Structure 1
Amino acid sequence: MDEPVEFTDIYVDEAMVDRATEVLRSGRYVKGPMVERFEAAFAEFCGTDHAVGVASGTDAIYLALKAAGVEPGDDVFVPAHTFFATVSPVLELGANPVFVDHEPVTYTMDALDLGERLRAADQPAAVVPVHIYGHPADMGAIREVADAHDLAVIEDACQAHGATYEGEPVGSLGDAGAFSFYPSKNMTVAGDGGMITTDDPDLAREARMLRNHGRNGDGEHVRLGLNHRLSELHAALGHEQLGHVDDWNEHRRSAAERYTDRLTDVDAVTPPQTRSESEHVYHLYVIQVPDRADLRDALDDAGVQTDIHYRVPAHEHLAVERHLDESPRVPRTETLTDRILSLPMHPRITDTEIDRVCAAIERHYDR
C-alpha cells in the first residue's frame, strides 16, 4: 500500500540545528541578539519600519490591539469565519467582538458587511481583517471603511507570511500586523512564536513594553504588562526559516495550481479562487463539497489526510457565546462551515501525491 499523503510537513535542516546549538551553547536564552536580528529581518520582509517578536500569534493580536488603544467596552470588528485566536484577545481586553460575514469568493472579511455593522456599533474602535488560508483580505475596501470611522486596523496575518495585496506585503497594510510561527504555518520557529509589524513607532514602543512586564527602556515598570517574549532559540530558528519562505510559498502556489487544474472539472467540488490584485500563499488549500463527511471517509480509506478549518463559526464557541447578548446573523459563514475541507498542502508535497488525492476525489464522485 502507498504511504499516506501527509496533511502537512515541517522542514528542519542542518543550518537550523546549528543555530539552535549555537543559542544553547551561548547561555543567552531571552532578550538577546537573535531576537533583534530576527525582528530586523522580518520587518524588512514585510516592508515595515518595526517588528516586535512575541511568544505566539495570539500574543501578537492581543498586544497589537492593546498597544493601539483598544479598551474595555470598545467594539472590535472580526470575521465570523476564522480561528478562535482572532476573537479571544478581543474578549481578554474586555472589548466586544462584532462579527462580520465573509466574501463568497475568498472567505475573507466582507467590507460591505463591515460597513453595515458599523452603523449599529456603540463604540467602534478597531477592525481585525484576517488573511485567511493565506489569501489577503480586501484591504483597500476595508481601509476605506475603517478610515471613515477612525478604526485601528490590525491585520491578522497569522496564515499569510509573504502574501501581497496590490503588490504590498501583508503586515504593512494596516496600523499593525500580527503573525504566527506555530509549527503548521508557512514558516515556523519550531514551537510557538509570533511577530507584530508596524510603521508606527509609538505602537511598536508600547508593544515592546507590554511584552516585557511593562518595562520601558530604563527597566522601569511603567505599564501593567505580562511576559509575552519570544525566546532566543525560537528567534534563531525563525530567522533561518525566513530565508526559505518565499521559495516554499512558490511551491505551495504550484501545488495549488495543480490541484485546481485537476479539480475544476469535478462538478461537486468548488476549488479556492484568488482575486487578481492578491498573491495567495496557500497556507491551506480549502475546497467546498456538498458531502464532506462522505468524501473525508473516502479520502481516509485512500490514505489521504484531511482537516477542517474551521468547523465552528467563531461566534459559536462556548467561550465566546457567553459574552454575547445575541448570536449574530452571518448566513454565508454558517453555510460555509458545513462544506469546507482542507486537502494536504505543504512545500514538499509532490505532483504524484496531489494526483493521488485528486484521483481519489474523482473516484468518489464517479461512483
Structure 2
Amino acid sequence: MVEWIEFSDIIGITIVIYVSVLTLNNSYLRKDIRIGIIATGIALAILYALDMFWYVGIYFLPVSEHTDFILNAITCLVYLMVPVTLSPFFIIFTLRKRTVRHNLGLALIALLAVADIVNIFRPIFFYHKDSYMYYVPWGLGMHVICYGAFVILLWDMIRSRFFDYEDVFLATFVAVTMFIGFLASWINYDLKTLWLSLGISYLLMYLALTALFNKVDVITELPNRNAYARAISHIKDNYNTIVLIDLNGLKKFNDTMGHQVGDQYIFSTARTLADAFKGMGTLYRIGGDEFILISKYTKPVLNDTIDSVLHKGKCDEKYGDFKIDFAYGIAERLRGDAVGDVVGKADKLMYEHKKISKQGR
C-alpha cells in the first residue's frame, strides 16, 4: 500500500529539478538572477518534502493531541516556505531598483513568515484537530496577504525591466495560476492544487525571464534586436516617428584602447540617450553601434531632445567619462507608410548626417 505517497509533490520536485538544471546552463541570465531562481527552487523543494512528511504523519501516526501538534507544526513550516520561496528571487531581481511598492511586498512577506512561526504554538490562520486541518477566520487574511505580496512583487518586477506584450501575457498567467491555487486552498482545503500552482508558477516565471533576457542587450541593458523585431512585427500605426542613431568613433576606441573600453563607450552613450528619451518611446540597440528609437512624439520634439544631448558634449558622468558623438536621422510616418519605409528614410537621413559631420571634422 502506497496511499501515503503524494505524487503531486513528486511532480513539484520534478519541476524544480527541471528548472534548476536549465537555469544552471542558461548563460543569458545574469548570475544574480540564476542565484535567485535556484534559491527559490530549493525553498520549493523543501516545501514539497515537508508536505510529503505531513501525509506520512496522517497515515502512520495515531489520532491524538500530540499528533495534531506535529501535523500543525509541519503545516506551519510548509506555509513558511511560501514567503521563503517568494523572497530570494524578488529580493535579488529588483536589488538594483527598490521602490516603496517593492518594500511593501517584502514587508508583507516578512509578516507572513513571522505569523507562520507563531501559528505553531497559537492558531492564527489554521489548526489541527483529530488529524484534520481547519482554518480560523484569519486564514482568509493569510491568503489575501500572501497573494497581495506576490502580485505587488510581480508587478514591481515587470515595471523594473523591459517587458513586451508577450512577457506581460506570461506574467499574467503566473498571477492567475497562483490565484487559482489560493482559491482551491481556501474554498476546498485543496492544498495539493496550491502547492502545484507554486511549481507551475515557478516554471512560468523561468520561461518569462528566459524570454525577457533573450530580448535584452547584455552591455546596455536596452531591448535588443530580437525585441525590436518583435515590436515592429506588431507595431501597426502605434508610433509617429523613428530615429536611427549611429555612434561615431567606436572603431577608434576598439583599435586603440581595446574592446572593453569600446563597450564602456557604448554603455555610456546608450544610457545617456535612454535617460534623455525616457517617456518618449523605446530605444533599442540593433547593432554594434546602432540604435533605433520608436516614438509617438513628433520630429521637432525629438530633434530638440537630441540637440540638447549633443550640446552637452559628454555622456552623463554617472555612466562614464566619454565624449558623446553620434549621427542620427529622424523620419516621421506619413499616411500609407509601412514601418520599413519610415526606417529606410531615417537610415538615409542618418547617413547624410554622418557624411556631413565627417566633412566638418
User: Please, what TM-score do these two structures have when normalized by structure 2?
Assistant: 0.25
User: Which is higher, the Rg of structure 1 or of structure 2?
Assistant: 2
Q: Specify which structure has the bigger relative contact order, considering alpha-carbon pairs within 8 angstroms and separated by 6 or more residues.
A: 1
User: Please, what TM-score do these two structures have when normalized by structure 1?
Assistant: 0.25
